[in-house]
Amino acid sequence: MATKIGSLATQKVMQRISAAGGALGEMQVHRQNVAADLAEQSGTVRYPVLLVYCERIVNSMMEKFRTFSGTLQMSIEVRQSSDRLEALEDGLEATVDAVTQMLCASRGDWGDGMYFRGGYQVAFGAAKHGGRNFIQAAKVTFEIGASIN
């Protein structure tokens, strides 16, 4: 049951990203949690890229008579690559802004017993070698509440 809920939540986040259009609609979006070097070895990666996945599932049984009543911690990892360090951080910040704007616009009921309150956290990683010479990532994490029979 828990893995199905995680997959459903990931699918709902993917729908919101594709519905947002604009800057997010033009990006590669994948439903996976994979290291940057592994992703580059396994196929062609176009940057910027978004990786969407469920990081943690907590069934806290807030509602006793539900099968699942708790939270899902979701992550959208944004990866940006550039041949110049100066352009790298600006591009990453612009993409993270687009992701957080999409989340702010998505507050409320997501259907199927899931809802989003609107809070999120952003963690920026350091630039390193990879991609088109340099790569940098940021991770946007947020919780989705779920109450499912």
**CATH number for position 99:** 3.30.2000.30
C-alpha–C-alpha distance, residues 67 and 41, integer Å: 40
pLDDT of residue 27: 85
Q: For residue range 116-144, what is the model confidence (pLDDT) as tens digits?
A: 999 999 999 999 988 778 999 999 999 99
Domain count, the chain: 1
Question: What stretches of the chain adopt beta strand conformation (E)?
Answer: 28-30, 49-58, 68-82, 108-111, 114-116, 121-124, 128-132, 134-148
pTM over 0.75: yes
pLDDT of residue 91: 92
More confident residue, 89 or 34: 89
Residue of 55, 56, 53 lying closest to 78 (CA atoms): 53
- Host domain of residue 78: 2-148
Q: For residue range 58-99, what is the model confidence (pLDDT) as tens digits?
A: 999 989 899 999 999 999 999 999 988 888 999 999 999 999
Mean pLDDT throughout 15-40?
82
